[in-house]
């Protein structure tokens, strides 16, 4: 029985692990990888104290800092798939590799994952033209025609990532408005490579060995149409990785874990959460780290 199980190995999870170890709490950290979402970023310029670092190097530094702590158990190749609150108030976690772990307290720092379109062809062509990270994969689409699906900031940023490479970029928007920053919208609207397809309900991604097209329905006319594209960049938002606690922890309509911002406590006694898995207003590496540390200090107070 651990005092604390930390679920996640991003900036939040690692910060929590370091603090928990230094407080000599009997802790297990479970993750299926280190560094979190920005591991794919070519250049992070706002990690405080480090003017510029790649996501990969940041992940390596975070992992090294965690491993330098004594007295924390680390499982770095497994994923929590189910959690249970027992009658005595303790928790039991089941993992993908068939293991069970038990703890008095839980800290959820499991972040979020990219939302999928859920249309035919998406899964079949993932890695064969269907892409979820423009920063990572834009250079693979030199002189190609691509579609970016979405209308928020991540979609707009994705278009800007593609501009130096792709020859033509369709921005496929479900409604008649873009939700991203006005400044970014302006940059996109004046770029001759970019064509915005409004009111487009995506229906299917088609191809042979690789993607060749994106089918959509014009929501106004009802007409089915197809764009001939070599790639589809899906940029429709993020889903919090919180399903495994849905039976005993309150979440908002998007699946984000609700927390008290003073302590990071959730609705369930014994469970804390921090970072991108929560309903925190802002999602950033430094914020996840700070909020996770706040959670550990509060957990320590409870343990005492």
Ligand X SMILES: Cc1cc2nc3c(=O)[nH]c(=O)nc-3n(C[C@H](O)[C@H](O)[C@H](O)COP(=O)(O)OP(=O)(O)OC[C@H]3O[C@@H](n4cnc5c(N)ncnc54)[C@H](O)[C@@H]3O)c2cc1C
Q: Contact residues for ligand X (CB under 6 A)?
A: 7-13, 30-33, 36-38, 40-41, 44, 46, 79-80, 109-112, 135, 241, 244, 275-276, 283-286, 288
CB of 291 vs ligand X, minimal distance in Å:
8
Query: What is the distance between the alpha carbons of residues 261 and 209, in angstroms, rounded to a whole number?
Result: 48
CB 95 to ligand X: min, Å = 7
> Shortest Cβ distance from residue 9 to ligand X (Å)?
4
Instruction: Give the shortest CB-221-to-ligand X separation in angstroms.
Output: 35
Task: Compute the least distance from the CB of residue 114 to ligand X, in Å.
Answer: 8
Separation of alpha carbons 139 and 136, rounded Å: 8
Identify any residues that bridge with 103 across adjacent strands, giving them in sequence order: 2, 91
Q: In sequence order, what DSSP letters do the residues of 102-118 get, joined into one string?
A: EEEEEEE---EEEPP--
Q: What is the CA radius of gyration of the chain?
A: 21
> Can you tell me the distance from the alpha carbon of 200 to that of 25, in angstroms, rounded to the nearest whole number?
52
C-beta of 99 vs 179, nearer to ligand X: 99
Nearest to ligand X of 15, 202 (CB atom): 15
Composition of the chain by helix, strand, coil, percent to 5:
25, 30, 45
Q: Specify the residue, 131 or 227, whose C-beta has the smaller distance to ligand X.
A: 131
Question: 75 or 119: whose CB is closer to ligand X?
Answer: 75
- Closest residue to ligand X using C-beta atoms: 111
CB nearer to ligand X: pick between 3 and 63: 63
Could you tell me the two tokens for 147?
A: 């579609």
Closer by beta carbon to ligand X, 114 or else 225: 114
Q: Please state the closest distance from residue 216 (CB atom) to ligand X, in A.
A: 25
Q: Which CA distances in Å does 85 have to 56, 95, 100, 112?
A: 36, 15, 13, 22
User: Is 14 strand, coil or helix?
Assistant: helix
């Amino acid at each position: 029985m651990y005092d604390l199980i930390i679920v996640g190995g991003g900036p939040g999870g690692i910060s929590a692990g370091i603090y928990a170890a230094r407080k000599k709490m009997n802790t297990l950290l479970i993750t299926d990888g280190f560094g979190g979402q920005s591991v794919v970023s070519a250049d992070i310029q706002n990690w405080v104290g480090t003017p510029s670092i790649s996501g990969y190097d940041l992940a390596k530094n975070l992992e090294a800092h965690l491993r330098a702590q004594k007295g924390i158990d680390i499982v770095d190749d497994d994923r929590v798939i189910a959690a249970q609150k027992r009658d005595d108030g303790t928790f039991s976690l089941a993992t993908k590799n068939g293991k069970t772990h038990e703890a008095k307290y839980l800290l959820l720092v499991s972040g979020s994952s990219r939302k999928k379109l859920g249309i035919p062809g998406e899964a079949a062509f993932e890695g064969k033209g269907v892409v979820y990270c423009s920063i990572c994969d834009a250079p693979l689409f030199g002189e190609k025609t691509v579609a970016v699906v979405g209308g928020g900031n991540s979609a707009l940023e994705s278009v800007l990532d593609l501009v130096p490479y792709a020859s033509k970029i369709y921005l496929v928007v479900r409604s008649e408005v873009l939700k991203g920053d006005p400044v970014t919208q302006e940059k996109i609207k004046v770029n001759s490579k970019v064509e915005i397809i409004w009111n487009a309900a995506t229906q299917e991604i088609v191809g042979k060995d690789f993607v060749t097209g994106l089918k959509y329905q014009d929501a106004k006319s009802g007409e089915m149409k197809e764009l001939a594209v070599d790639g589809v960049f899906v940029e429709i938002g993020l889903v919090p990785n919180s399903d495994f606690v849905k039976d005993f922890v309150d979440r908002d309509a998007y699946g984000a874990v609700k927390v008290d911002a003073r302590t990071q406590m959730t609705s369930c006694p014994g469970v804390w959460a921090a970072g991108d898995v929560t309903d925190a207003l802002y999602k950033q590496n430094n914020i996840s780290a700070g909020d996770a540390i706040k959670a550990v200090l509060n957990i320590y107070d409870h343990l005492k």
